[in-house]
Amino acid sequence: QVQLVESEGGSVQAGGSLRLSCSGSRYISSRCMSWFRQSPGKERKGIAAIDVDGSTDYASSVQGRFTVSRANDKDTLYLQMERLKPEDTAIYYCAAAWEDVECYSASSVGTFQYWGRGTQVTVSS
């Protein structure tokens, strides 16, 4: 059974930084992987994706501030978040896509086969 596990999130002040990681499956190094986030009352949306070849794609809301990366030797996915804003407050999820999909940050929830349980990130002003 595949189980993706996100690292503990945290609380930071606006302008601060935080790094999330996701581990637990060999699929991390062999599938399109993405980070999603969900705020209360809002739908879950993708914000950063990384394809098997290492190409990345970001939502405009995080472009230039967030960086998705992967350590294949460790089967670990990362999300480095810089210059955090209060509107970045959300539960963050990592997800592994089904095989042979187009890998974009805007890819729908249904594109992804496996999910982590999520981790809370809170940014205070």
Binned at pLDDT 50, 70 and 90, residue 124 comes out as very high
How far apart are alpha carbons 14 and 123 in whole angstroms? 6
Q: Which pLDDT value is given to residue 72?
A: 87
For the cut 90, the answer to whether the pLDDT of residue 1 exceeds it is no
**Mean pLDDT computed over every residue of the chain:** 96
| pLDDT value, residue 55 | 96
Instruction: Say yes or no to pLDDT of 111 above 90.
Output: yes
